[in-house]
């Protein structure tokens, strides 16, 4: 069997397995699990931001607009760029920030 690490999302206690070499957002999506917001999957949009509470991982290049050097050295990263090297516990920091358009459209439809 190939190596897989268990990822736990602390707030919701959602658990899923991530194969060695795979990023944790992709593993979550592939198993149709929820908890971390999914955006571009390329380290660009920032919606999948997490704090790793425990475990080892490697991080691929991600947008400095969303993760500073300091944050990166403090265990913060974008889930689509984090590849586990052990079991991981993560806390979700990212949110799907609602655009003005999305907010207004939602209100307009609700008032229909």
Partner 1 sequence: MAQSSVLRPGHVSLRVLDMEAAIVHYRERLGLQEVDRDAQGRVYFKAWDEQDWFSVVLREADRPGMDYVGFKVVSSAALDQLEAELKSFGCKVERIPANELKHCGERIRFEIPTGHLIELYAHKEYMGNGLGRVNPDPWPEGLKGMQAQRFDHVLLYGDDLDTNLKLFTEVLKFDLTEQVVDGELKLATFLSCSNKVHDIAFIRHAEKGKFHHASFLLGTWEEILRAADLISMHDISLDLGPTRHGLTRGRTIYFFDPSGNRNEVFCGDYTWYPDHEPITWTADKLGKAIFYHDRKLNENFLNVVT
Smallest separation, CB 39 to ligand FES (Å)? 4
Of 14, 13, 7, 31, the closest CA to residue 79 belongs to: 7
47 makes contact with ligand FES (CB under 6 A): yes
Residue 85 exposed, middle or buried by CB count within 10 Å (0-12, 13-18, 19+): middle
Residues 45-104, interacting with partner 1 (CB under 8 A)? 45, 47, 61-66, 96-102, 104
Among the listed ranges 5-13, 37-45, 50-58, 83-91, the one in contact with ligand FES (CB under 6 A) is 37-45
Of 40, 96, 102, 104, which one interacts with ligand FES (CB under 6 A)? 40
Contact 49, 66 (CB under 8 A): yes
Number of H helices, E strands in the chain: 3, 7
92 makes contact with ligand FES (CB under 6 A): no
């Amino acid at each position: 069997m190939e190596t897989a690490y268990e990822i736990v999302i602390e707030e919701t206690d959602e658990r899923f397995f991530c194969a060695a070499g795979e990023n944790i957002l992709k593993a979550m999506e592939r198993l149709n699990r929820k908890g971390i917001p999914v955006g571009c999957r390329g380290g660009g949009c920032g919606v999948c931001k997490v704090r790793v509470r425990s475990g080892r991982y490697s991080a691929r290049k991600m947008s400095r607009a969303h993760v500073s050097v300091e944050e990166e050295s403090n265990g913060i990263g974008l889930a689509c760029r984090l590849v586990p090297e052990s079991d991981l516990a993560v806390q979700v920091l990212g949110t799907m920030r609602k655009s003005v358009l999305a907010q207004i459209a939602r209100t307009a439809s609700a008032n229909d």
